Amino acid sequence: MVGTIDQFRAQLIGGGARPNQFKVEIVSPPGITIGLPTENAAFLCKASNMPSMALGEIELPFRGRKIYIAGDREFADTWTTTFINDTNFALRNAFERWNNGINDLVTGTGVTSSSEYQADLKVSQLDRDDSVLKVYIFRNAFPLTVSAIELSTETTNAIEEFEVTWRYQHFESSEVTAGISAVAG
pLDDT digit string, tens, across residues 91-107: 999 999 999 999 999 99
Fill in the amino acid letter for 42: A
Extended strands (E) in 36-160: 45-47, 55-62, 65-73, 79-84, 119-126, 132-146
| CA-closest candidate to residue 21, choices 123, 164, 89, 153 | 123
- Under DSSP, is residue 158 helix (H, G, I), strand (E, B) or coil? coil
Pick the CATH number of 14-173 from 1.10.10, 2.30.110, 1.10.1060, 3.40.190: 2.30.110
Rounded to 5, what percent of the chain is helix, strand, coil?
A: 20, 35, 45
**Tally of CA atoms within 13 A in the half-sphere of 161 that contains its CB:** 13
Listed in sequence order, the residues at least 6 apart from 106 whose beta carbon sits closer than 8 Å to its beta carbon are none
> How confident is the model at residue 165, as a pLDDT?
96
Fill in the amino acid letter for 157: N
Q: Rounded to two decimals, what is the model's pTM?
A: 0.83
Contact 169, 144 (CB under 8 A): no
Residues of the chain with pLDDT under 70: 1-2, 176-185
Task: Summarize pLDDT for 45-63 with one digit per residue, the tens.
Answer: 999 988 888 888 999 999 9
